[in-house]
Amino acid sequence: MIPTSYLDPQEMARLTARMLLEIKAVHFNTAEPFTLASGLPSPTYIDCRKLISYPRIRSTLMDFLTVTVMRNAGFEAFDNIAGGETAGIPFAALVAERMALPMTYVRKKPKGYGRNARIEGQMNEGERVLLVEDLTTDGGSKLSFVDAIRETGATCAHTAVIFYYGIFPETEKTLGDHGVGLHYLCTWWDVLAEAKLSGAFDAETIKGVEAFLNDPRGWQEANKK
């Protein structure tokens, strides 16, 4: 069912952050930083995959994401919803259901047998495709998915995520230079604000996380092992 009304973006961001904190998808640890896929340290980690196990929160956030995309990109802007393997697949399916559109998914690499395909499902030349993922950090991982979509003859000018780090200034330029607009529900700044209000973490941890968010590259350089 397509949502027909929605809150303003600021309230959606606040509620999204609150939900992520409520299900403990947000992890802060300044004493023993996490290691990101890039190999760099970070005192923050978010696990959006947990959302699929919470039906009320999952449904609300998918309503939020659907109306955000329609508001920003247009109500008749897409013909196909594609999920990025693997975290984006369930969210793409849920958005596609709400928008009454076909759903596909994009593999990270060809599966190596059969059709050796990267696109699973039916994607046709000329279709306007929305790429859905759980989150984005610096935007780089999205480009391979976008290229795979475009190789079918379809177009992909938009990607939608639940969570956007919002601390790396090059992200939106990286995507923009590739002809892709970014739509999201909340950032680390929204989560930090809600964490302060709710008392989800102690003051020392909050202070350390805030230092990281204000200068992530400097913090990572100083905390490399």
CB 81 within 8 A of CB 102: yes
Beta strand 34-35 pairing with 41-42: antiparallel
Determine the average pLDDT of the residues in 109-126.
84
pLDDT score of 36: 80
Distances (CA, A) of 43 to 38, 138, 150, 175, 185: 14, 17, 36, 25, 21
What distance in Å separates the CA atoms of residue 137 and residue 220, rounded to the nearest whole number?
14
Residues 81-108 have pLDDT tens digits of: 999 999 999 999 999 999 999 999 999 9
Q: pLDDT class for 37, splitting at 50, 70, 90?
A: confident
CATH of 12-222, one of 2.60.120.10, 3.40.50.2020, 3.40.50.150, 3.40.50.300: 3.40.50.2020
In the chain, where the domains are located: 12-222
pLDDT score of 224: 81
pLDDT score of 39: 80
What distance in Å separates the CA atoms of residue 132 and residue 153, rounded to the nearest whole number?
19
pLDDT higher than threshold 70 for residue 114: no
Calculate the dihedral angle through the C-alpha atoms of 132, 136, 140, 145, rounding to the nearest 10 degrees. Answer: -10
pLDDT higher than threshold 80 for residue 116: no
Residues 130-155 have pLDDT tens digits of: 999 999 988 888 999 999 999 999 99
pLDDT score of 112: 66
pLDDT score of 188: 97
Q: Which carries the bigger pLDDT value, residue 179 or residue 5?
A: 179
Determine the average pLDDT of the residues in 54-68.
96
